[in-house]
Amino acid sequence: MKKQICCRFTIKSLLIINLIIASNCLQAQVTTISISSRDHVILLQTDKNERLRTIYFGEPLNNESEYSAVADSYDFNDANAGIYNAAYTPAGTWNLSEPAIQVVHADENTSLELTYESHTVEEIDSNTTLTSILLKDPNYPFQVTLFYKVWKNENVIEQWIEIKHNEKKAVRLLKYASANLYFANKEFYLTSFHNKWGKEMQPTQEKLLRGKKTIDSKLGARTMLLESNNFILSLDKKASENEGTVMLGHLAWSGNFKLEFDIDSYENLRLIAGINPYASEYLLPNNEVFKTPSLIYALSNNGTGEASRNLHSWAKKYRLLDGQGERLTLLNNWEATYFNFDENKLVELFKDAKNFGVDMFLLDDGWFGNKYPRNGDNAGLGDWQENRKKLPNGIGYLVKEASKAGVKFGIWIEPEMVNPKSELYENHLDWVIRQPSRPEVYFRNQLVLDLTNPEVQDFVFGIVDDLFTQNPELAFIKWDCNSVIYNAYSPYLNKNKLPQSHLYVEYVKGLYKVLERIRAKYPKVPMMLCSGGGGRADYELLKYFTEFWPSDDTEPVERIFMQWDYSHFFPSIATDNHVTNWGKQPIKFRIDVASMGKLGFDIVADDLTEADMQFCKQAVSNYNSFKNTVWHGDLYRLVNPYENEIAALMYVDSDKSKAIVFNYLVNNRQNINVTERPVKLDGLDSNKRYTVKEINLSSGTRSPINSNKVYSGDFLMKIGVNPDINLHRTSVILEVTEVKD
Ligand code: DGJ
């Protein structure tokens, strides 16, 4: 029996479909589906019961017609507990391993079977295909469609699921993962990232052994406060920067998530990733579609470096808002003033911003609230009117004054939150997530607004809309989110007789709806995603944001490690780094570290010595000369600070004519000796000739590096260049420039 294959017709997709049909004819009743990028293929195949299984995840074969024979080389027919390699494992029938989906039908029946029905392959453009595979329950009008969007050249895959049914009443979805992958490799190494405030992205690498490893969040909002939705999976052996098969995984969801790694009895790996089913049973009415978030992953057979470059170039081209555009350097006043400022002080700071040479001044927390002025973090949140004492002439005046000083003006908001000490709380208790009959529990003295409620969505949209309507020249928004959801209970869901178990999912969807409206009206204005540091950074939100704040920890040595880890998943154009007073490093070191991303300052100019101020100005001007290479070039992580006394990272222009190399000392022991070996560069053209010049030198210092010497790219990549890092030269930036004849 041949299943119907429907397809939107493009010549290429017809070819693919023909291949699939051909393979069907050779092996009656077996459908083999290949989901291929340039260097990778996922093979799916039906078994004798029409269930779809993953039979291969690895390098593509030269001859596609051989795909249908792959499964014979493995033993995938375990009858003890169902089949482990189901492409999307249903619960309640034959499969007793961890399910990807679990439902209760309208008639209260808890069984689900999913068999292959048809699939389509759509060629979106020459680099992008979308494969959708329809699975149906033979006994119930219930269906699941698996989606695989592939960017061939970047080797990036985005996977999600759509669930739909036509049963008489709503179906209860108990678990509804985004992806269910299967890997039949020899060994698996997982790097997961663990977080807390000021210590985001702390990596742990482990060999996965039999049993289950779970990374998850149940925090509701600020969901990455403790664990990260990013992971690195090495297949067969530990991957290094330039060797090994590796997957960089990322769940693009801003709410509760769950990543389950399960080594089965064949020592193969099952990966199930998606929304955390914890307290999230979802009632799906008939004929409505439930779309899961996406699991996004970049693959490489040449180590984590290439996988990161793939993911970065995908993000910049296809995902991050304005990923190929420009960014604004800035002076922020958070650590310079905290809540203690007024109009006059700010106007003085505008002059400092101009003096530093940055593009913008960013006014942080503390500018609003009148009955309950926002003079600390315990009051005012929710009352988005300018505080009349601090800002008697309002935001409009500040925007104008900033413009007079020659800088743009941006502003901080935290629109999803409320302090109990606020007019908003007094007037709209029904907008607040809280258990009606229990004591309130606060995180940073605040509570979370009920974004499941369309009125709250209007309110949040209105905060941004009012700011832009009243101040059309407003250039930037920093959107913060400092609280988790305690006492999860939605007054809106209760009033509308909807299940409380929708809260975690509908909160996030409500947030996306607001951002969708903001971007429909204000498509371009840059916005920074912040969450009490880096409690929220995901590729669903980054459709709406141009950048994110990785951490409040700006101590520059710590920051080198953190930026190293974040750089696996996010391009530097998306990563905001500020020069602050954290740490004891000289201003040059702090600026050099912050320059590996979008540069900002959060320091008091008056506290700087004249020499340091001069250096800052020079450094901003230097940054402007190389920022395009950092923002738009390719990243090569050269020397790993976890394994060495120094760190080195390099950005190379796409035409390989210019590169910037950052080198830092990360160990301050007196007896350190790190000048013995050169740093090997990467990503250059072997046949081109280059000079290497040290830039951003502190005034009065001379570089030991001879900038007149000409090297071949070959030399620089095989022998390298010695940045001569030592206790007196702790940070060195090198500019590599092609010598044209
Ligand atoms: C947390 C952020 O991470 C900080 O940068 C700052 O904006 C504060 N919130 C303001 O309350």
144, 101 in Cβ contact below 8 A? yes
How many angstroms is it from 551 CA to the middle of ligand 1? 10
Q: What's residue 26's pLDDT? A: 43
The secondary element (H helix, E strand) that includes residue 231 is strand 227-235
Query: What band does 289 get if pLDDT is binned at 50, 70 and 90?
Result: very high
**Which residue, of 594, 610, 631, is where some domain finishes?**
631
Q: CA–CA distance from 384 to each of 333, 416, 461, 472, 533 (Å)?
A: 19, 12, 12, 17, 22
313 within a domain of the structure (yes/no):
yes
**Which of 363, 476, 481, 482 is the pocket-test mutation for ligand 1 (most atoms within 8 Å of CB)?**
482
The secondary element (H helix, E strand) that includes residue 635 is strand 634-639
Give nearest CA residue, ligand 1 atom 9.
Answer: 532
Angle between helices 343-356 and 610-632 (to 10 degrees): 70
325 within a domain of the structure (yes/no):
no
Helical H segments across 42-116, by residue range: none
340 within a domain of the structure (yes/no):
yes
CA distance 384 to 36: 50
CA distance 246 to 230: 13
CA distance 46 to 32: 7
Residue-wise pLDDT tens digits, 175-197: 999 999 999 999 999 999 999 99
Q: What is the mean pLDDT of residues 4-26?
A: 40
Residue 56 sits in a domain whose CATH number is 2.70.98.60
- Is residue 275 pLDDT above 70, yes or no? yes
Question: At CA 672, angle to CA 667 and CA 676, rounded to 5?
Answer: 115
Output the six-digit token pair for 297: 């992953």
Taking the CA atoms of 566, 209, 266 and 259 in sequence, report the sign of the dihedral they define: negative
Taking the CA atoms of 663, 666, 668 and 672 in sequence, report the sign of the dihedral they define: negative
419 within a domain of the structure (yes/no):
yes
Count of the separate structural domains present in the chain: 4
How many angstroms is it from 613 CA to the middle of ligand 1? 25
How many angstroms is it from 531 CA to the middle of ligand 1? 8
Q: What's residue 13's pLDDT? A: 42
Kindly give the number of the ligand 1 atom that is closest to the alpha carbon of 531.
3
**Same domain, yes or no: 25 and 42:** no
Quote the percentage of the chain above a pLDDT of 70. 96
**Same domain, yes or no: 598 and 646:** no
Kindly give the number of the ligand 1 atom that is closest to the alpha carbon of 377.
11
**Same domain, yes or no: 544 and 573:** yes
Output the six-digit token pair for 387: 């505080």
Q: What's residue 173's pLDDT? A: 98
The secondary element (H helix, E strand) that includes residue 164 is strand 156-165
DSSP for 376-441 reads: STTS-TT--SB-TTT-TTHHHHHHHHHHHHT-EEEEEE-TTEE-SSSHHHHH-GGGB---TTS---
CA distance 57 to 41: 6
477, 414 in Cβ contact below 8 A? no
- Is residue 306 pLDDT above 80, yes or no? yes
Q: What's residue 77's pLDDT? A: 79
CA distance 320 to 428: 35
Residue 55: give the domain boundaries: 32-67+75-319
**Same domain, yes or no: 561 and 439:** yes
How many angstroms is it from 156 CA to the middle of ligand 1? 33
**Same domain, yes or no: 154 and 193:** yes
83 within a domain of the structure (yes/no):
yes
Query: What band does 79 get if pLDDT is binned at 50, 70 and 90?
Result: low
| Other Cβ atoms within 10 Å of 503 Cβ, number | 25
720 within a domain of the structure (yes/no):
yes
The CB-side HSE value for 55 (13 A sphere, CA atoms) comes to 25
132 within a domain of the structure (yes/no):
yes
How many angstroms is it from 735 CA to the middle of ligand 1? 34
**Which of 365, 419, 443, 528 is the pocket-test mutation for ligand 1 (most atoms within 8 Å of CB)?**
365
3-state secondary structure of 519: helix
**Which of 530, 536, 559, 577 is the pocket-test mutation for ligand 1 (most atoms within 8 Å of CB)?**
530
CA distance 63 to 55: 16
**Same domain, yes or no: 537 and 525:** yes
How many angstroms is it from 533 CA to the middle of ligand 1? 7
Kindly give the number of the ligand 1 atom that is closest to the alpha carbon of 478.
7
How many angstroms is it from 537 CA to the middle of ligand 1? 15
Question: At CA 467, angle to CA 479 and CA 548, rounded to 5?
Answer: 20
Query: What band does 356 get if pLDDT is binned at 50, 70 and 90?
Result: very high
- Is residue 676 pLDDT above 80, yes or no? no
Q: How many helices (H) and strands (E) does the chain have?
A: 13, 35
Query: What band does 27 get if pLDDT is binned at 50, 70 and 90?
Result: very low
The secondary element (H helix, E strand) that includes residue 33 is strand 32-36
How many angstroms is it from 318 CA to the middle of ligand 1? 29
Give φ, ψ of 455 to 5 degrees.
Answer: -65, -40
Angle between helices 394-405 and 343-356 (to 10 degrees): 30
The CB-side HSE value for 49 (13 A sphere, CA atoms) comes to 15
Q: What is the mean pLDDT of residues 651-655?
A: 98
- Find, among 444, 421, 442, 417, the residue nearest to 431 by Cα: 417
DSSP for 269-327 reads: EEEEEEE--TT--EEE-TT--EEP-EEEEEEESBHHHHHHHHHHHHIIIIISTTTTS--
Q: What's residue 606's pLDDT? A: 94
Burial class (CB in 10 A: 0-12, 13-18, 19+), 392: exposed
Output the six-digit token pair for 649: 């990272």
**Same domain, yes or no: 409 and 301:** no
324 within a domain of the structure (yes/no):
no
CA distance 211 to 262: 6
Taking the CA atoms of 469, 470, 471 and 477 in sequence, report the sign of the dihedral they define: negative
CA distance 460 to 414: 9
Q: What's residue 674's pLDDT? A: 74
**Same domain, yes or no: 263 and 357:** no
Query: What band does 412 get if pLDDT is binned at 50, 70 and 90?
Result: very high
**Which of 363, 364, 577 is the pocket-test mutation for ligand 1 (most atoms within 8 Å of CB)?**
364
- Find, among 484, 600, 605, 474, the residue nearest to 549 by Cα: 600
- DSSP-assigned beta bridge partners for residue 363: 411
CA distance 256 to 270: 20
How many angstroms is it from 332 CA to the middle of ligand 1? 11
Q: What's residue 668's pLDDT? A: 81
- Is residue 6 pLDDT above 70, yes or no? no
Output the six-digit token pair for 76: 């995938």
How many angstroms is it from 365 CA to the middle of ligand 1? 7
How many angstroms is it from 344 CA to the middle of ligand 1? 22
**Which residue, of 607, 631, 655, is where some domain finishes?**
631
Give nearest CA residue, ligand 1 atom 1.
Answer: 532
Q: What's residue 480's pLDDT? A: 98
The average confidence (pLDDT) of the chain is 94
Residues with C-beta less than 6 Å from any ligand 1 atom: 334, 364-365, 412, 480, 482, 530, 532-533, 549, 552
Quote the percentage of the chain above a pLDDT of 90. 91
- DSSP-assigned beta bridge partners for residue 435: none
**Same domain, yes or no: 23 and 44:** no
The reply to whether the predicted model has a pTM over 0.75 is yes
**Same domain, yes or no: 550 and 625:** yes
**Same domain, yes or no: 160 and 19:** no
Output the six-digit token pair for 540: 């669903």
Q: CA–CA distance from 367 to each of 16, 387, 555 (Å)?
A: 58, 6, 27
Q: What's residue 29's pLDDT? A: 83
**Which residue, of 275, 296, 319, is where some domain finishes?**
319
Kindly give the number of the ligand 1 atom that is closest to the alpha carbon of 552.
3
Strand bridging mode 290-291 / 294-300: unpaired
Residue 427 sits in a domain whose CATH number is 3.20.20.70
CA distance 652 to 373: 48
Residue 713 sits in a domain whose CATH number is 2.60.40.1180
DSSP for 656-716 reads: SSEEEEEEEE----TT----SSPBP--SS-TTSEEEEEEESPPTT---SS-TT-EEEHHHH
Q: What's residue 10's pLDDT? A: 38
716, 672 in Cβ contact below 8 A? no
Give nearest CA residue, ligand 1 atom 11.
Answer: 365
**Same domain, yes or no: 627 and 647:** no
Give nearest CA residue, ligand 1 atom 10.
Answer: 365
- Is residue 477 pLDDT above 80, yes or no? yes
CA distance 402 to 502: 44
